[in-house]
């Protein structure tokens, strides 16, 4: 016990700031920084006799979020199909209907998309209004969209603070910041705030989804304002970014960290499209076809997430099966008029 207390030191949460060029480098740096500078504490799902995990308040700024590589293998848990499915869950809400209900109490307590999608038309409305209001204000042809209030929230006190919510959402807030650069170009920056996350198994995939969402924000706002908008920085803030004690005891985390530091991030990184092909044998469009077929099979009563072989036996041609066109763009729901009645669910 004395040795454990020494590990805990002053019991104060450290703050760590990281800069990286791409998501793979950011994942690499965050894992090492949390291990080297994080406080020692019980992590989620801690059991008696398990080593204390590492935990820190970490902010990561990725300067070029759409640059490759995006995948860092020590921080990736799913295969290509799982990652593509997760992207579409975040961007298009393909599994919002999997939220638990009396018939399916084992389903999810929330989805991120279900929480923020009704707020987005209000954000776009405000951006457009600012653009129109400030157009020509300083003798400029273009408007100004430098507001600090283009944000959505995820946390719902009525659903998330109660004991019945066993696994409340980790993502808490998303914010769009539109700035001008020294060339007069409009740059979209995107900031996310998170309550708690597993750094080794969830962080990389979480942010692949968020960067895809960021790109769709860019496309939608560019279309709406009829002017080109470019991607800026992606900033990820986590109040508790942690490495589980289980990873120390089961996975020899110390040895993994040593190898990461010796090899650097490039050797264990891959572009997102390369990752899809390497782990599933399908490119992004091929994976979308499989997921669309899975959803069709689910609708017809054949169960959830059926394998490729089952889908083929059911008669699906996975090489040609059509997926919704909007999966290659922003969802049509983003073009809807703001509906105040739907905002009641935020509270």
Cis before 21? omega within 30: no
The answer to whether position 316 is within a domain reads no
pLDDT tens digit sequence for 56-85: 999 999 999 999 999 999 999 999 999 999
Residue 92 pLDDT > 80: yes
Structure tokens at 237: 């803030």
Within a domain: 30: yes
Residue 292 lies in a domain: no
Specify the CATH number for the domain of residue 221.
3.30.572.10
- What is the tally of structural domains in the chain? 1
Classify residue 314: in a domain, yes or no: no
List the domain range (segments joined by +) for residue 185.
2-281+331-346
Q: Is the dihedral of CA 280, 309, 331, 235 positive or negative?
A: negative
- What is the tally of helices (H) and strands (E) in the chain? 13, 10
Q: What is the pLDDT of residue 3?
A: 66
CA distances from 301 to 98, 297, 298, 304, 309 (A): 14, 6, 5, 9, 17
13 within some domain: yes
Which pLDDT score is estimated for 345?
A: 59
Give mean pLDDT, residues 141-169. 87
- For residue 304, tell me if it sits in a domain: no
Q: Is 60 exceeded by the pLDDT of residue 4?
A: yes
d(CA 58, CA 31): 10
Count Cα atoms within 13 angstroms, Cβ side, for 309.
0
Which of 318, 116, 110 lies closest to 210 in space, CA to CA?
A: 116
Residue spans of alpha helices (H) in the chain: 2-8, 23-37, 80-92, 112-116, 120-134, 157-160, 203-225, 245-251, 253-263, 272-280, 284-299, 308-313, 340-343
Which residue would you say has higher pLDDT here, 141 or 162?
162
Burial of 123 (0-12, 13-18, 19+ CB in 10 A): buried
Mean local confidence (pLDDT), 140-168: 86
SS3 146: coil
pTM of this structure: 0.94
The pLDDT > 70 percentage for the chain reads: 96
The two three-digit tokens of residue 113, written as one number: 């998309």
Instruction: Measure the CA–CA gap between 346 and 46, rounded to whole angstroms.
Output: 32
Contact present, 323 and 288 (Cβ < 8 Å): yes
Give the least confident one: 126-135, 221-230, 277-286, 299-308.
126-135
Count of Cβ atoms closer than 10 Å to residue 206 Cβ: 21
Using only C-alpha atoms, what is the Rg of the chain?
Answer: 22
Residue 289 lies in a domain: no
The dihedral over CA atoms of 90, 132, 231, 200, expressed in degrees to the nearest 10, equals -30
pLDDT tens digits for range 123-136: 999 999 999 887 76
Whether 41 is covered by a domain: the verdict is: yes
* Proportion of the chain above pLDDT 90, given as a percent: 81
């Amino acid at each position: 016990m004395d040795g454990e207390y020494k590990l805990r030191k002053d019991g104060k949460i450290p703050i760590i700031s990281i800069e990286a060029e791409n998501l793979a480098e950011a994942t690499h740096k965050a894992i090492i920084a949390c291990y080297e500078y994080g406080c020692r504490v019980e992590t989620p799902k801690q059991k008696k006799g398990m080593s204390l995990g590492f935990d820190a308040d970490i902010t990561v700024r990725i300067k070029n979020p759409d640059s490759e590589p995006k995948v860092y293998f020590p921080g990736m848990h799913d295969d290509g199909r799982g990652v593509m499915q997760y992207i579409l869950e975040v961007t298009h809400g393909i599994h919002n209907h999997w939220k638990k209900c009396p018939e399916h109490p084992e389903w999810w307590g929330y989805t991120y998309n279900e929480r923020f999608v009704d707020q987005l038309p209000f954000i776009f409305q405000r951006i457009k209004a600012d653009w129109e209001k400030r157009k020509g204000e300083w003798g400029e042809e273009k408007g100004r969209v430098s507001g600090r209030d283009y944000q959505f929230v995820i946390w719902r006190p009525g659903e998330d603070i109660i004991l019945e919510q066993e696994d409340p959402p980790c993502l808490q807030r998303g914010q769009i910041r539109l700035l001008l650069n020294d060339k007069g170009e409009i740059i979209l920056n995107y900031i996310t705030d998170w309550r708690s996350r597993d750094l080794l198994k969830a962080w990389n995939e979480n942010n692949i989804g968020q960067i895809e969402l960021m790109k769709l924000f860019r496309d939608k706002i560019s279309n709406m304002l009829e002017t080109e908008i470019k991607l800026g920085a992606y900033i990820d803030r986590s109040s508790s970014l942690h490495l589980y004690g289980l990873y120390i005891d089961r996975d020899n985390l110390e040895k993994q960290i040593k190898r990461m530091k010796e090899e650097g991030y490039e050797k264990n990184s891959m572009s997102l499209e390369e990752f899809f092909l390497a782990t599933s044998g399908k490119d992004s469009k091929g994976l979308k076809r499989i997921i669309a077929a899975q959803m069709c099979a689910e609708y017809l009563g054949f169960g959830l997430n059926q394998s490729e072989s089952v889908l083929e036996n059911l008669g699906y041609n996975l090489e040609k099966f059509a997926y919704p066109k909007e999966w290659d763009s922003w969802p049509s729901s983003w073009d809807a008029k703001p509906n105040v009645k739907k905002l009641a669910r935020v509270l």
